[in-house]
Amino acid sequence: MGTLRSLRCISCGTEYDPAKLDYTCPACGPRRGTLEVLYDEATLRHTVTRDSFAATGRASMWRYEALLPIDDVRHVQPLRVGWTPLYAFPTLADEFGLAGLYVKDDGQNPTASYKDRASSLVVIKAQEKRRPIVTCASTGNAASSLAGFSAAAGLQAVIFVPQRAPEAKVAQLLVYGAKVFSVRGSYDDAYDLAAEAADAFGWYNRSAAMNPYLVEGKKTGAFELAEQLNWQPPDVVFVGVGDGSVVSGLCKGFEEFARLGLIERIPRVIGVQAEGSSPIASAFSAFHGGRVEYDDVDAHSVADSICVGKPRDVVKAVTYVARNGGSFVTVKDDEILDAILALARSTGVFAEPAGAASYAGLRKMARTATLEGKTAAVVVTGSGLKDVASARQRVGAPIVIDPTIKEIERHL
Ligand SMILES: Cc1ncc(COP(=O)(O)O)c(C=O)c1O
Ligand SMILES: [Zn+2]
C-alpha cells in the first residue's frame, strides 16, 4: 500500500487531505490548481529498495505498488498493464551518433496506449471512493483505456470524444460497452462538457490533469525505464505531449526514484509537440522561473492524440521539465508521418502519429548534434493500429494481381 500523505497545489503549495478533495485546488482553479500527490518519503526510504519491486513477483506497473496511492491491491484488475518492452537498437543508435537507443513500446498495453497506466489506477480510486460511474473527455486513447478498465472492474463509463476521433478508438469504446457521446466540437469543448456533466451527475472524472491520480499511473513508465536499464536510465527521454500529463508523469517518476536513492541522476525529458498544436512548447520557451504563463491556441495536427489547444497540465509540464533540465521541441505533421515509417521500418514498432512524435523529435534533435554520445529512449505511447488512416497517407497501395506467377513476374 502506498504511503499517501497529501495532495499539494502545483501553484500555491497548499496541501489538502486526499479524503476531502477529488480534483483541483479551489483557490487556484482547474488550470493553475492541479494537484501533486505526495507520499511519506521518510517511511518509503526505509521500505523501498531496488530489489523490492521484483520481489512483488508482478510483471506489470503494479510492481511499484509501494509508490502508488491505492488502499488495497485486491482491486487491481487482472489485465496486465505496464512493464512494457524496452527494445535496444544499437545499429540505429550508431546512425544517430548516440551511445544507445531504446524504444519503450507502450502500444503493447491492454487497450494499446500509455493511458492504460493511468486508467488502471483511477478505476481503483473510483472503486475506493464508491463511485460506480466514471467519465472522461479524451482525444480517444484515455477514453478507450477508461472504457476497457471500467469493463474489467465492472464500472460504467460515460465518454465524451470529439467527432473527429479516429474510427478504431471509437470502436474500442463501443466494444467495451461505454456510453459514448461524440461531441460536435473540439477536444477542448468535450473536456469542458465532461467536467460539467461529472459535476451535475456525480460521476468520477478521469479527464486529463484535473484528476491528480493520473500522473501517478503515468510515472510508472519512468520507473520501468530505470529498472529495465539496470538502474542506469537513459540520458534523454523523448515523449509526445498534448495536455502535458504524460511528460509530467515521466519527470515525477524519475524525481521520486532519485529522491529515494534508487537512481543517481535524473534524465532530461524532452516533450515533443506538433507544430500546429504547441502551446506547452511556447509556454516553456517563455518560462524563466516563477509563474508559468501560457496562451491557448486553435490546434491543428495529424497527431489527434496530441492535438490539444488548451492544455490542462501546462503548469506541471513546464515546471517539471524545466526542473530536470529537459526541454520541448516541435515537429511538423510531415515529420511525424515520416517518423511513423522510419520507426516501423528500422525497429518493427508501429506507432500512431502521437506515438511516433517522440521519434520525430529525436530525429530532429539528432540533426543538431546535441545528442552526440548520449543514450536516448523514445516512448511510443500508442499503437499504429489505433489510426491506420494517417499511416496510409504515407504508403502506396498494394499491387492487385490475378493469382498467377506470370502476374508476379510482370510486377517484379
Ligand atoms: C498516444 C498518445 N501519446 C501522447 C499523448 C500525450 O499525453 P498528454 O495529453 O498527457 O500530454 C497522448 C494523450 O492522449 C496519447 O494518447
Ligand atoms: Zn492553489
248 CA distance to ligand 2 centroid (A)?
18
Q: Nearest ligand to the C-alpha of residue 240?
A: 1
Nearest ligand for residue 25 CA: 2
| 319 belongs to a structural domain | yes
Give Dmax (Cα) for the chain: 75
311 inside domain: yes
Q: Please tell me the number of the ligand nearest to residue 313's CA.
A: 1
Average pLDDT, stretch 118-130? Answer: 97
Asked whether residue 60 is assigned to any structural domain, the reply reads: no
| Sequence-separated (6 or more) residues with CB below 8 Å from residue 409 | none
Question: What CA–CA distance (Å, rounded) separates 139 from 168?
Answer: 12
172: in domain: no
The domain total for the chain is: 1
Domain that holds residue 325: 86-112+214-392
C-alpha cell at 142: 484515455
pLDDT-derived band at 2 (thresholds 50, 70, 90) equals low
- Enter the DSSP assignment of 185: S
- CA dist 92 and 360 (Å) reads 14
Q: What is the pTM of this model?
A: 0.97
Cell numbers for 12: 500555491
Is 176 inside a domain boundary? no
Does the residue 324 lie in any domain? Answer: yes
Strands 156-162 and 236-240 come out as: unpaired
329 CA → ligand 1 middle, Å: 15
Q: Is residue 208 part of a domain?
A: no
Cα distances (Å, whole numbers) of residue 141 to 118, 119, 145: 11, 10, 6
Helix 141-153 to helix 116-128 angle, to the nearest 10 degrees?
A: 50
Give the residue carrying C-alpha cell 542506469.
Answer: 232
DSSP for 375-389? EEEEEE-BBGGG-HH
Domain assignment present for residue 323? The answer is yes
Q: What type of residue sits at position 192?
A: D
By most ligand atoms within 8 Å of CB, the mutation choice from 108, 111, 113, 270 for ligand 1 is: 113
Going by C-alpha positions, the residue among 141, 194, 204 that lies closest to residue 168 is 141
List all residues whose CB is within 6 A of at least one atom of ligand 1.
113, 115, 139, 141-142, 208, 240-247, 305-306, 352, 354-355, 381-382
Mean pLDDT, the chain, integer: 96
| Band of pLDDT at residue 165, cut at 50, 70 and 90 | confident
Q: How far is the CA of 70 from the centre of ligand 1 (A)?
A: 23
Cα 275 to ligand 2 centre (Å): 31
Per-residue pLDDT tens over the stretch 341-376: 999 999 999 999 999 999 999 999 999 878 999 999
Classify residue 236 by its DSSP letter. Answer: E
Query: Which CATH number belongs to the domain containing residue 303 in this structure?
Result: 3.40.50.1100
Element (H or E) spanning 127, and its range?
helix 116-128
Residue 225 has pLDDT above 70, yes or no: yes
Q: Which of 296, 274, 365, 300 is nearest to 326 (CA)?
A: 365
